[in-house]
Structure 1
């Protein structure tokens, strides 16, 4: 499991420099160079990394091989194929990487506010279990994302998300209503029986090592990658 930062790439401002998204207005040649650099850094062929056309849905898609382009209209990928890397792009949303190495099932999830509210992570765990994973065998890693300290929303929105993702409503540093999607997802994963959880506490809004849509508007995307190296 790997998370990238915004450093070390070929892209120019405002995508500087390791932007991995091809839908944000960056030079396609720079994105391609960055994706090749990422593949080389983790010892994979670029064609063995599967990307998503993320739309903030709760759609989960199973893939069993390389794809010609991004998997359309989905926010989670699941595979049982060793060596096939699943990628999630983020710039404040929570990247969730899941793997049961004993069962040989892995998943990458784009958990934004709406997707998390509507059960994208729970649906992904359910699909992994259908493919042979066990909740106690799943290792979960939640990457850098917008924290509740800075993710300010109207009270009605905070209440709505809390009703569907308990543990996510919070107060910001300014005392206003906020959402901590990552905290809500940790609680949800535990309720599903997933106990092997690590959550990176870094906040993309305040940490300039990361792209942040809420901080910058026009910006790039970092990525999370997960892949199976073989069956246990």
Structure 2
């Protein structure tokens, strides 16, 4: 498992420099070079990128998609050496692995995906491939924290109605969502005991991309793979 940051690539302007997102307005050649450079640094020959749509659909994959990827927010594989990438810039990248079964997965869990249950859906799909939630290791990556992620009160109440642990307030006392707490609770309810965190807040960390902080910006990624 690994998380990138915004440094060490070739993108210019607001995407500087290691932007891995292909749908944010950056030069496609720069994105391709950044993706290739990152894969090489991680020792990966192939990487699966999704067309993330803030949903709860997940799929089993054995190779990168040809042409435009399908609309997905979670992928899993049992093929060694195949990297799975989750692009984010405030949403939470959630990486899962059962090393005994040889199954790994990644989910893009922003506010809509967390509300829709993309992470529990990924756990269920991995279990259908022989993984056991009790053996899984989960890593919740950098995301907007519950003290920064301000939302309207009615939205907070709606999301917390589905995932109570997301209810939060900002430092200024305004309504907020804590996606990390909500996802951790979803994982616990799904039977995943080992939940780890890269607790950096994207809004507060200049070395990471943040849509809320910058609006026009790039995407960093969480990567998970089985060693070949």
Residue 67 of structure 1, aligned match among 65, 87, 110: 65
Are residues 138 and 69 of structure 1, via their aligned partners in 2, closer, same or farther at CA, if it must alter by over 3 Å?
farther
1:229 CA drift (Å):
1.4
The answer on whether the counterparts of 2:49 and 2:64 sit within 8 Å (CA) in structure 1 is no
Displacement after TM superposition at 1:68 (Å): 2.0
Q: How does 1:144-183 map to 2 (within 5 A)?
A: 144-183=142-181
**1:17 aligned residue:** 17
User: Displacement, 1:191?
Assistant: 1.4
TM normalised by structure 1 equals: 0.96
Q: Do 1:50 and 1:70's aligned partners in 2 also have CA atoms closer than 8 Å? A: no
- Aligned residue in 2 for 1:38: 38
Shift of 1:70: 5.0
Following superposition, the deviation at residue 29 of structure 1 comes to 1.1
Q: Alpha-carbon deviations, 1:163-207, whole Å to 9, x = none?
A: 111201101011001001111100111111101110111100111
Contact 1:51–1:69, Cα closer than 8 Å, also in 2 = no
Structure 1: 5+ residue runs without aligned partners?
none
How far the C-alpha of 1:2 sits from its partner, in A, is 0.6
CA distance in 1, matches of 2:58, 2:206: 31
Offset at residue 71 of structure 1 (A): 2.6
What SS is found at the alignment partner of 2:201? coil
Judge conservation of contact 1:2–1:224 (CA < 8 Å) in 2: yes
Give the secondary-structure state (helix, strand or coil) at the position aligned to 2:222: strand
Distance 1:171 1:86 in 2: 33
Q: What do you get for the CA RMSD once the two structures are aligned?
A: 0.9
Give unpaired runs (5+ residues) of structure 2: none
Check conservation: 2:60, 2:77, Cα contact below 8 A: yes
Partner SS state of residue 145, structure 1 = coil
2:55 aligned counterpart, secondary structure: coil
Following TM superposition, where does structure 1 have runs of at least 4 consecutive aligned residues deviating by more than 3 angstroms?
none
Relative to structure 1, the CA distance from residue 70 to residue 80 in structure 2 (aligned partners, 3 Å threshold; closer, same or farther) is farther
Which of 99, 123, 126 pairs up with 2:121?
123
| Mapped partners of 1:30, 1:144: distance in 2 | 24
Distance in 1 of aligned mates of 2:125 and 2:164: 22
**TM-score normalised by length of structure 2:** 0.98
Determine if the alignment matches structure 1 residue 87 to structure 2 residue 85: yes
The total of aligned residue pairs comes to 228
Q: Report if aligned partners of 1:166, 1:188 keep a CA contact under 8 Å in 2.
A: no
Selected match of 2:53 from 52, 55, 66: 55
